[in-house]
Amino acid sequence: MHVPAARIVFSPEDRAEIASATIEILSTGAMTLGAHTNEFESAFAAAHRAPFAVAVSSGTAALEIILRSLDVQGADVVVPTNTFAATAFAVIRAGATPVFADVSPDTFALTARDVAAAVTPNTRAVVLVHIGGLIASDVAELAAFCADRGLALVEDAAHAHGCRHGEGYAGSFGVAGAFSFYPTKLITSGEGGMIVTADPAIHEAALVYRDQGKAGFLGNTHIKQGYAWRLSEMHAVTGKVHLRHLDEFLTTRAAVAARYDAALDALDGATRLRVPAGDVCNYYKYIVLPRPGVDRARLKKELKERYGVSLSGEVYEAPLHQQPVFSDYAGRSLPVAEDLCARHVCLPIHSDMTDAEADHVVTSFAAALASLDLDG
Ligand SMILES: *Cc1c(COP(=O)(O)O)cnc(C)c1O
């Protein structure tokens, strides 16, 4: 059996619907900021119980727009070091300085204590990243910490479509959340992003920023330095159709995760992240920590070559404070994140994965881990 690292799921019916909508878009010429974008925004807002949603060209654009509407220019913004480079790029492009922080080994996410160690008198915002779709159970503590100090909490929810902690959905714990629809993400539009917020001022600013800073779609008065951050109607219809499957994808992925949980809990030599009972995790990534000393490259090679199992990409392989492009921003060492980045692996998990595939993945993982032990 061969299990790939990722699989993008569009049913034949979805493909046909997107194809016929595309023909309609091409024949009417309504190719941007039209009905499909509006419908995608409404459906995404409803799925996340958000008062407002604004569709944009990418997840990175969503982050930059949120940061620009918070006016972070010249300020410091705290970012976890174990995130995608785009999180910190958005901070820099919004005119601010990223300050990298360490994270908790239980959630891979920032805690109030990590942020306290990174804040400066010039800090204006904090970006919380829901790694792998897990919303940290201490998110309320972090939000309270930020509120006490007048820091805006922004959620990089690129991994967290449909995720929930308690009654709160991803994007509702801070001032706004940024989602991505890149092909590997839980819901995709090919390329695209979404801002969700309950703040009418951020909503208004986002509408202006995404369309070249124009006060309105039809006018030519530019009130902000915006950009071409619109989402095309072809992308919007793709995302709208894919989003209809969110609940079904969450159910399938939770079933796979339950099989993985049971198998890993019976195994020595590897631990997994714990999702609080009652919460919804989309398992964008299923994260496992093999015991210290396991050679990750060998483990991955063994799984692929001997068992046909490709692990999915790490989140993330190297922390940002150790990436060449951020050398100007690298400060102190961040030992927890450094260890997590070096050690974790992600079992493949797909929105249409079968029980047989899931069982093959975990049995292979256990066998490969044991064989590494035997070889020393
Ligand atoms: C994918 C991703 C982004 C960027 O999204 P794009 O749509 O590719 O711009 C930002 N942050 C994180 C954590 C991501 O995984």
Ligand 1: which atom is nearest the Cα of residue 180? 7
Interior CA angle at 282 toward 278 and 287, to 5°?
A: 100
34-40 long-range CB contacts below 8 Å, 24 or more apart? Answer: 34/233, 34/236, 35/233, 36/233, 36/236, 36/237, 36/240, 37/231, 37/233, 37/236, 39/236, 39/240, 40/189, 40/194, 40/231, 40/236, 40/237, 40/239, 40/240, 40/243
93: CA distance to ligand 1 center in Å? Answer: 15
- Kindly list the domain boundaries of the chain, sorted by start residue: 12-243, 246-375
- pLDDT class of 331 with cuts at 50, 70, 90: confident
Q: For residue range 124-175, what is the model confidence (pLDDT) as tens digits?
A: 999 999 999 999 999 999 999 999 999 999 999 999 999 999 999 999 999 9
Q: Are 335 and 343 in contact (CB under 8 A)?
A: no
pLDDT at residue 376 tops 70 = no
363: CA distance to ligand 1 center in Å? Answer: 31
Is residue 58 in contact with ligand 1, taking CB distance under 6 Å?
yes
| CATH code for residues 12-243 | 3.40.640.10
180: CA distance to ligand 1 center in Å? Answer: 5
Q: For residue range 32-85, what is the model confidence (pLDDT) as tens digits?
A: 999 999 999 999 999 999 999 999 999 999 999 999 999 999 999 999 999 999
Is residue 245 in contact with ligand 1, taking CB distance under 6 Å?
no
Is residue 83 in contact with ligand 1, taking CB distance under 6 Å?
yes
Distance from C-alpha of 263 to C-alpha of 268, rounded to nearest angstrom: 10
User: Residue 214 has what pLDDT?
Assistant: 96
Distance from C-alpha of 224 to C-alpha of 211, rounded to nearest angstrom: 10
Q: Where are the alpha helices (DSSP H) in the chain?
A: 12-28, 35-47, 59-69, 85-93, 112-116, 139-148, 200-210, 233-243, 246-265, 296-307, 335-343, 355-375
Is residue 132 in contact with ligand 1, taking CB distance under 6 Å?
no
Ligand 1: which atom is nearest the Cα of residue 131? 13
Neighbours of 222 (CB within 10 A): 13
Ligand 1: which atom is nearest the Cα of residue 185? 1
- Please give the structure tokens belonging to residue 263: 């198998």
The verdict on pTM exceeding 0.85 is yes
Among the CATH numbers 3.90.1150.10, 3.40.50.2300, 3.40.50.300, 3.40.30.10, which is that of 246-375? 3.90.1150.10
Work out the average pLDDT over 94-120: 98
Distance from C-alpha of 323 to C-alpha of 327, rounded to nearest angstrom: 7
- pLDDT class of 217 with cuts at 50, 70, 90: confident
Work out the average pLDDT over 295-312: 98
- Please give the structure tokens belonging to residue 277: 């009972």
Known catalytic residue at 304: no
Q: For residue range 304-328, what is the model confidence (pLDDT) as tens digits?
A: 999 999 999 999 999 999 999 999 9
Closest-CA residue, ligand 1 atom 14, reads: 158
What proportion of the chain, given as a percentage, has pLDDT over 70?
99
170: CA distance to ligand 1 center in Å? Answer: 15
